[in-house]
Every structure is written in C-alpha cells, then in structure tokens.
C-alpha cells in the first residue's frame, strides 16, 4: 500500500509517522496509509504559505479564478469515484457522499466567480477635496481545521474562499477522514496552485492543529468541530490577537404543529434527525410536537424508521450507514442509556447490530416522553438519536425550541403563515427552515449559527468575505 503524503511548500512529503484509514462499514477494509506531519513540517508549511502570499495576493485574479474553476470541474468530473471514497471512509451512504462531493465542486466554481466580484466603495469625504475608498484585502496565512463528518464539503467551503480572496492556506483535516482531504489536495495541486499557496498537513489535532492555531505567522483560523475544541482554539487565537471563526455543534429543534401536513412532518423529522447517521451539526435531534398531532406523528415516524435499512454505506438500498467509529458509537450508546435513566421512553432503535462485515452499526433511536431539561435534550449526541418533546401549543413549542445553549438551525412544519412568519423572526437560530428539514443548505448563502453554535463571521456565499478579507479605508487628496 503506497503511503499518501502531505503536501508542503510545493512538495509531497513523508510524515514523521503514518496512520491507517479504516472503513467504518467494514473494519477489515484498510483504505490507505496516510502520513502524519510533525510540528517541524507544520512550521515549514506555515513559512511556505507566508513566502507565497505576496505573489498570490497581488497576482492575476483571472488566473486565480481559472484555477478555482479547474478544481471545481475536476471534483465534479470525479464525483462518483470521490463519492465512493467518502462513503467508504466516513460511512454516509453512497448517494449522500456523491451529493457532498458535487457540493464541493459547486463551491469551488462559485468562488471562481466570486474572485471577480470583489468590489470596493468610493465616497466623498466630509472634508472638501478628499476622496475616501473602502477596499478589501486578503488576510495572509489562514489555518483551516475541519471535522470528520463532511470530509470534502467543509474543507471546500473554507479552502475555496480563502484562496479566492488571495490568502494562502495550511489545511489540517480530521484524522478519521484523510482520504477525501488527500484527494482534494491532489486536485488542487493538479489545477496549478503555486507552491506554498496551499499546504496539506495531516496529523493529530492536539499536535498539528494546536501548533497551527498558536503559530505567530498564521493570521487567522477557521475551525469546524466540537464546542470544547472550538472554545480552546478561540482562546488561543484571541490570546495572540489572530482572527478566528468557529462553527460548532447544534441541538436543533424541529417544531411540528397540529396543522402540519403529516407526511411533510415525518419526512422532515426522519431526514433531519437520522440521515447521514445523525452525524450532522444541523441534525434535528429535538422534535418539539404539539399535543393534537403528537400521537399520530410518533406512530408515523416509528413506522418509517422500521422500514429504514441500516447497513454498509456502499450497498445499494442502505438508508443509514454506520457510525463513524467505535468511540462515537460508544458516545451514542452512553447517551441512550442516559436518556433511559432519566426516564425517557426509548420507543424504537438504539441497538448495536451486526451486518455481513464488522462495522459500527446502530439502529435509529427515538425517545418519547422527554422533557426539555433532560441531558439528551441539552447535549449534542451526534448520532442517530432523536427525542420528542410534547408542547401544549405554538408558544410553548417556540419557547422549548429556543431553550438551548445552541442556535445553529431550527425548523417548523406548519401550514399557518402566521406561525411560520413568527417562527422565522423569533427562532434564536442562525438558519430557519419552514416545511423542510433542519439539515440541507445552499452553498451561495450564509451558513452559521448563534449562541454556542458559532463564533465570528458567517461562512459560505459572498458573506465568506467578512472572514477571509480585511477592510482598508484610504483617503486621497485630489
């Protein structure tokens, strides 16, 4: 098996160590061996990015746009092969994985266009004879740290805007999913990105991630992952006054009102809570259901769950792939026990099951008779586990929906324009969905949350420029 290497200062280099990339649907299947960078290599990557910055940030924007377009096209051309790799290393189903790869390609193409859209402003000064211009400039070297649950889309939505606006990048992917990151790096290199502009440094977060966040030549850090890690990264970055952006977890509510269309409600709940094995920061883990539809809704959801196939992510007909690894599976099972101990009723699922190959298979678990203060309704589980909270009416449902330290995504299923409009305005989430699942977003509009879910500027679409550029105000005397 050939070692997949890091890409630093324009060269593919061995690491100080290597790890095996294991298929969660079949733990006998080793996808590849991936190099692990040491801190000296990380240092080299940052310095290479620093050296490359002057030429890249002032070079031809036509060339930059064409490079991003080539990256996007190459990803789209290889979506089937890359989708297979992604499903094999992360465990989401093949259609979900292929869709994620296509999304990554579209993001690069979007930012190829965005390169040419960067505008400034020219204003008269309050002092006669002066002009004032307001322009945007790149930041410098950006450290990008990504989680395992979207192995190509999240890297794409950080790398593409960083490069588009003229920055250089050191990218540290999650240890569990080096395959997609490495394939993306190969595509970026083949598209003609100059040496040093893009660097791939695979390695453990506590070593390589930490060194990246604390490096004095890293001007900004964009992170997606858990709250704990995010909090530490923010403290370190702010401590040395580097710009930082965090996207973290969610405990996203889906409110189902009495007047909801039942099929839509069931579709939103099952898709939002359990697809991608519930391993989405936007998953609807809290189903807040008003009394008049409560029993019918639960009956229909359970019927639907019983028909879902939990199996190998690469198999035709699988609806829910495995959990990503043993540690995450243990966390899911711990929370299932916690819910039962707290007095919630486990209506279905929550069992570890065996399939033809050894993997981390868990049936989708639904809790009922839960209350908003239970740990299963307050802490992010990050697996195929959801709970139903009964509410008397819309007002109580809204209060329960907002009763969380998180605020990423929130949904409502209703036919009432009045309640939908009120919910859109008063939900304390960064993204609100009406009659669609809480998970599943577009790439050309802002992505991000409030409260404990996010920190700093939004990601994606033209709003990405808020993080990846800095504003300059210049005065000129005529």
- Which part of the chain contacts ligand NDP (CB under 6 A), choosing from 4-12, 90-98, 145-153, 359-367? 145-153
Residue 110 within binding range of ligand NDP, rule CB under 6 A: no
Residue 155 near ligand NDP by CB under 6 A: no
CA dist 171 and 270 (Å) reads 34
- By the 10 Å C-beta count (0-12 exposed, 13-18 middle, 19+ buried), 161 is classed as buried
Give the number of C-alpha atoms closer than 13 A to the C-alpha of residue 205, restricted to the C-beta side.
20
Backbone angles phi, psi at 465, to 5 degrees: -65, -20
Stretch that binds ligand NDP, among 75-83, 116-124, 146-154, 258-266 (CB under 6 A): 146-154
- Measured from the CB atom, the residue of 75 and 174 that comes closer to ligand NDP is 174
Q: Is 268 a catalytic residue?
A: no
Q: How far apart are CA 56 and CA 193, in angstroms?
A: 9
Instruction: Judge contact between 25 and 357, C-beta under 8 A.
Output: yes
Token digits of residue 7: 């890409």
Return the closest-CA partner of residue 342 out of 384, 287, 389, 273: 389
Of residues 266-305, those binding ligand NDP (CB under 6 A): 281
Q: How far is the CB of 324 from ligand NDP (least distance, A)?
A: 8
With CB under 6 A as the rule, give the number of residues binding ligand NDP.
28
Contact code string over 245-264 relative to ligand NDP, x by CB under 6 A? --xxx---------------
For residue 386, the cross-strand partners are: 366
Buried b (16+ CB within 10 A) or exposed e, 246-273: bbbbbbbbbbbbbebeeebbbbbbbbbb
Annotated active-site residue in 44, 89, 96, 247: 247
- Scanning 192-200, 209-217, 256-264, 337-345 for contacts with ligand NDP by CB under 6 A, the matching segment is 209-217
Among 66, 69, 137, 175, the residue binding ligand NDP under the rule CB under 6 A is 175
Does 206 participate in binding ligand NDP (rule CB under 6 A)?
yes
Specify whether 281 is catalytic.
yes
Residues 6+ apart with CB under 8 A from 460: 107, 157, 161, 441, 443, 444, 445, 446, 447
Q: Which is nearer to ligand NDP, 160 or 298 (CB)?
A: 160
Contact 381, 224 (CB under 8 A): no
Is 205 among the residues that bind ligand NDP (CB under 6 A)?
A: yes
Residue 90 interacts with ligand NDP (CB under 6 A)?
A: no
Catalytic residues: 247, 281
Residues in contact with ligand NDP by CB under 6 A are: 145-149, 172, 174-175, 204-206, 209-210, 213, 224-226, 229, 232-233, 247-249, 281, 380, 382, 408, 453
């Amino acid at each position: 098996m050939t070692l997949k290497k890091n890409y630093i200062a324009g060269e593919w280099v061995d690491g100080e160590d290597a790890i095996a990339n294991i298929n969660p649907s079949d733990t006998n299947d080793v996808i590849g061996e991936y190099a692990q960078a040491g801190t000296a290599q990380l240092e080299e990557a940052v310095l290479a990015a620093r050296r490359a910055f002057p030429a890249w940030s002032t070079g031809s924007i036509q060339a930059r746009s064409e490079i991003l377009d080539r990256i996007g096209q190459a990803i789209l051309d290889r979506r089937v092969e890359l989708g297979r790799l992604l499903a094999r290393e992360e465990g989401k189903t093949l259609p979900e994985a292929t869709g994620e790869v296509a999304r990554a390609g579209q993001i690069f193409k979007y930012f190829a266009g965005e390169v040419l859209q960067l505008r400034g402003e020219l204003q008269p000064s309050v002092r006669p004879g002066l002009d004032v211009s307001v322009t945007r400039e790149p930041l410098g070297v950006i450290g990008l740290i990504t989680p395992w649950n979207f192995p190509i889309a999240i890297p794409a939505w950080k790398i593409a805007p960083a490069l588009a606006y003229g920055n250089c990048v050191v990218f540290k992917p999650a240890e569990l999913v080096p395959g997609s990151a490495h394939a993306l790096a190969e595509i970026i290199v083949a598209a003609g990105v100059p040496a040093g502009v893009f660097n791939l440094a695979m390695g453990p977060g506590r070593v390589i991630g930490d060194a990246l966040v604390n490096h004095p030549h890293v001007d900004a850090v964009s992170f997606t992952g858990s709250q704990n890690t995010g909090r530490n990264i923010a403290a370190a970055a702010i401590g040395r006054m580097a710009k930082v952006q965090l996207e973290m977890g969610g405990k996203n509510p889906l409110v189902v009102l009495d007047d909801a269309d039942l099929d839509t409600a069931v579709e939103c709940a099952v898709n939002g809570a359990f697809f991608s094995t519930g391993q989405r920061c936007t998953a609807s883990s809290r189903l807040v259901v008003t009394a008049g539809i409560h029993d019918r809704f639960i009956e229909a959801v359970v019927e639907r769950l019983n028909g879902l196939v939990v199996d190998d992510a690469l198999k035709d007909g699988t609806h829910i792939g495995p959990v990503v690894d043993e540690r995450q599976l243990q966390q899911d099972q711990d929370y299932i026990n916690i819910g039962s101990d707290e007095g919630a009723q486990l209506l279905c699922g929550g069992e570890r099951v065996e399939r033809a190959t050894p993997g981390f298979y868990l049936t989708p678990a639904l809790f009922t008779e839960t209350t908003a203060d239970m740990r299963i309704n307050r802490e992010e589980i990050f697996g195929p586990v959801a709970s139903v909270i009964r509410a008397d009416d819309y007002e109580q449902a809204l209060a329960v929906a907002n009763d969380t330290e998180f605020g990423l995504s929130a949904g409502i299923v209703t036919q009432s324009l009045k309640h939908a409009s009120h919910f859109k305005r008063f939900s304390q989430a960064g993204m609100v969905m009406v009659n669609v699942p809480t998970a599943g977003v577009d790439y050309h509009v802002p992505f991000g949350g409030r409260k404990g879910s996010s920190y700093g500027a939004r990601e994606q679409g033209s709003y990405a420029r808020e993080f990846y550029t800095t504003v300059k105000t210049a005065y000129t005397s005529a």
